[in-house]
Structure 1
Amino acid sequence: MSDGMTGARFPEAQPPGSPSSGSQSSLHRGNLDRVLHAVRMAGALTQAEIARGTGLSAATVSNIVRELKALDMVEVTPTSSGGRRARAVSLSRASGVVVGIDFGHRHLRVAIGDFAHRVLAEEHVPIDVDSSADEGFALADRLLGVLLDRAGVVRSEVTGVGLGVPGPIDIDTGALGSTTILPGWVGCHPREAMGERLGLPVLVDNDANLGALGELVWGAGVGCTEMAYLKVSGGVGAGLVIGGRLYRGPGGTAGEIGHITLDESGPVCRCGNRGCLETFTNASYLLDLLRGSHGTDLTIQRMIELAGAGDAGCRRVVADAGRHVGVGVASLTNLLNPQRIILGGDLAGAGDLLIAPIVESVGRYAIPSASRRLSVVTGSLGERAEVLGAMAMVMSEMAPFAIERTPEPQIAGAAM
């Protein structure tokens, strides 16, 4: 991706299968597959990097790249590596494009990117929290059409669509769970509904998981194998990375940290319990605390601006929210011992005003041996983390070329 996303490495990028001791033809197909997979996951690699990553010889890589270029499957461009001239290999435009769609509490963001990790077009618009799923999907379809025209892409070039939704997806039924922050969406089947509307293959996950994937591949989580992305906005959720991979749990609902109970006598949560972490940290609750003194038109962004300027009331509300979030982070730290907690969502814009009380709570409630190596940071991708993660999901799980569809040694792989 342009936008500073080039050179990314997918932690889950393992070759789909090592060539077995079959015929020379199958060995060659396996080598093609390994090279394409490596390039797809990195966006662009020099031939030396491909050789190191795949274990193939430099001569073999050179021959494969030459073959793939002749088939218009890769592009080769001059670059420099370590002060020396080199050639960067990336998947060609013929590999198609991927689409990311992210639904938040009050926004919709759509982006189109290619397999060389370049964002071709991107836009976001507000949505009504009380809108139905059908209305949301129709809006996404219209916005995608605008962006396809802007990028000069036809729909048939789209390899797949990654869809992010603000709630857990039941792994058995594909339905959006009852804890979504979009009440009109409960029980809908986003993958099927969006796929039918767009006429394209769709993958779906909750927004916190996709935020974690985006930061893991291109942002503040690069190089981490144990981390959590904590989105604090209209709701609170966590995307968990364990062993370099997203952890969703057997039911697909891992990371619902917003429903840790802080106070059994606290406010009733939308999940039906009382005193969940989310009830003390969601945007509506925080703004309600300040509207008596700061007016009814106060927004989270304005609250953060005022807190940064020294407003005592806003600073107190942000600090209290941070301490509550820190209790949840401490529990997560004791349980999983992560290297890093990455903060996303609207409240992450408060930066150190939020991080300091989180760290204070972690120091108070987490086991020292679990928190000693923990860092708490804000995400580097900002509000784009989820939509970029949606594209990363497609790049990781959908290959634009398939060896099996070609009669002779041909291809399998893709990139962004």
Structure 2
Amino acid sequence: MRVGLDVGGTKIDALALGPDDEIVARTRIPTGWGDHAVVTAVHDAIDALAAEGGFATADVVSVGIGIPGLVDAEGGRVLHAVNLGVADLDLASAVRTRLLVPVAVENDVKAAALGAGSLRGDAHSMAYLNLGTGVAAGIVIDGRLWRGARGTAGEIGHLSVDPGGRVCGCRQRGCIETFCGGGAVARAWGRGGALPILDIFDLAEAGDPLAAELRAGIAYGAASAVRCLVLSADVETVVIGGGVTALGDRLLGDLVRRLRLEGEGSAFIGSLRLDERIELLPAGSPAAALGAALVGAARMNAHEGAIHG
């Protein structure tokens, strides 16, 4: 059994892959706060998977963990995960104290990119664009993550597309994230609510001017992200996921219209057919946990290769 865990700010989505790459078990449990609680939750998720799938934890041969924030994938350390209260945690070693198997740790968006490529059956040339509290992407070329020279490939949320725009958390102005990141949009909305993005879409249709402005901004930011990914990496497909995509066809429709509008104003941009190169990740997709499982399995294979080599 190869285990994959998508550790989020409130929950862990966990799955186990059997020998034939089928998902044998999948479960969700709450995430803890702080180093000890996160490690405990990871172990609890693995135990819950074993109970759900009817296998023993001794049957686990690898563990992959996708987690938000700055990750040292080579060393298995989480260096900065503010939403989890983690500043510097050797997560791989902590998990190996109970399970003596290879453990890999990866940024959650990068793991989701691998999982999305696997689910599509086409990881030749694609990007996964995550529109969540923040905005980031993972780029997969020929089945492998493209990290760039220093691991920041895909951090498009902090590309400025409006130098006079709102101040971003990175202290630049007009970053893509200020337009279509859930956290930044909620702050600009300023009216609270359990689901601010949904309220914005609903009230924009009812004629609220601020809601209409923010809704148009979401499409502008997402379109800018798609354009940047295609122009910089020339990926064939941009798969869009994250919490904001719960809006489904309403978001997709706005984005397609924005991309077509930009294409009409530029023959060059129009020739890229950006509106035909996007798709939404299906709701409830296991992409992130699946990608984490694949990362863990790759670490296992590398470990075995080192032993036998």
Which of 12, 15, 24 is residue 111 of structure 1 equivalent to?
15
Q: What residue in structure 2 maps to residue 205 of structure 1?
A: 106
Asked whether 1:346 is paired with 2:243, we answer yes
Asked whether 1:187 is paired with 2:108, we answer no
Equivalent runs, 1:312-323 vs 2, <5 Å: 312-313=207-208, 317-323=214-220
CA contact (8 A) 1:337 1:371 kept: no
Asked whether 1:286 is paired with 2:286, we answer no
Amino acid of the structure 2 residue aligned with 1:335:
S
Q: Alpha-carbon deviations, 1:237-288, whole Å to 9, x = none?
A: 1010223432122322211111112334544433343432223322233334
Q: What residue in structure 2 maps to residue 99 of structure 1?
A: 3
State the Cα RMSD in Å.
3.4
Equivalent runs, 1:185-264 vs 2, <5 Å: 185-196=86-97, 198-219=99-120, 222-264=121-163
- Change over 3 Å in CA distance of 1:372–1:165 after alignment to 2: closer
Count, aligned residues: 302
CA contact (8 A) 2:127 2:139 kept: yes
- Change over 3 Å in CA distance of 1:328–1:161 after alignment to 2: same
- Change over 3 Å in CA distance of 1:156–1:315 after alignment to 2: farther
CA contact (8 A) 1:341 1:374 kept: no
Equivalent runs, 1:16-415 vs 2, <5 Å: 97-127=1-31, 131-170=33-72, 174-178=76-80, 180=81, 182=83, 184-196=85-97, 198-219=99-120, 222-290=121-189, 292=191, 296-299=192-195, 302-303=198-199, 307=202, 310-313=205-208, 317-363=214-260, 364=262, 367-371=269-273, 374-380=276-282, 382-399=284-301
TM-score (ref. length: structure 2): 0.82
Amino acid of the structure 2 residue aligned with 1:216:
G
Residue aligned with 2:16, SS: strand
TM-score (ref. length: structure 1): 0.63
Amino acid of the structure 2 residue aligned with 1:299:
L
Matches of 1:191 and 1:274, distance apart in 2: 36
CA contact (8 A) 1:212 1:229 kept: yes
Q: Alpha-carbon deviations, 1:345-377, whole Å to 9, x = none?
A: 111122232223333444427733434685111
Matches of 1:308 and 1:393, distance apart in 2: 42
Which structure has the greater CA radius of gyration?
Answer: 1
Matches of 2:206 and 2:27, distance apart in 1: 33
CA contact (8 A) 2:3 2:62 kept: yes
Residue aligned with 1:214, SS: helix
- Change over 3 Å in CA distance of 1:321–1:256 after alignment to 2: same
- Change over 3 Å in CA distance of 1:238–1:399 after alignment to 2: same
Matches of 1:127 and 1:403, distance apart in 2: 34
Matches of 2:303 and 2:100, distance apart in 1: 19
Q: Alpha-carbon deviations, 1:13-67, whole Å to 9, x = none?
A: xxxxxxxxxxxxxxxxxxxxxxxxxxxxxxxxxxxxxxxxxxxxxxxxxxxxxxx
Matches of 2:74 and 2:102, distance apart in 1: 18
Matches of 1:107 and 1:160, distance apart in 2: 21
CA contact (8 A) 1:232 1:347 kept: yes
Residue aligned with 2:124, SS: coil
- Change over 3 Å in CA distance of 1:404–1:200 after alignment to 2: closer
Q: Which moves more between the two structures, 145-154 or 190-199?
A: 190-199
Residue aligned with 1:182, SS: helix
- Change over 3 Å in CA distance of 1:325–1:157 after alignment to 2: same
Matches of 1:310 and 1:249, distance apart in 2: 41
Residue aligned with 1:329, SS: helix
Q: Which moves more between the two structures, 272-281 or 222-231?
A: 272-281
Q: Which runs of 5+ in 1 are unaligned?
A: 1-96, 407-416
Amino acid of the structure 1 residue aligned with 2:175:
C
Aligned residues: percent identity?
27
CA contact (8 A) 1:169 1:253 kept: no
CA contact (8 A) 1:110 1:144 kept: yes
Amino acid of the structure 2 residue aligned with 1:320:
G
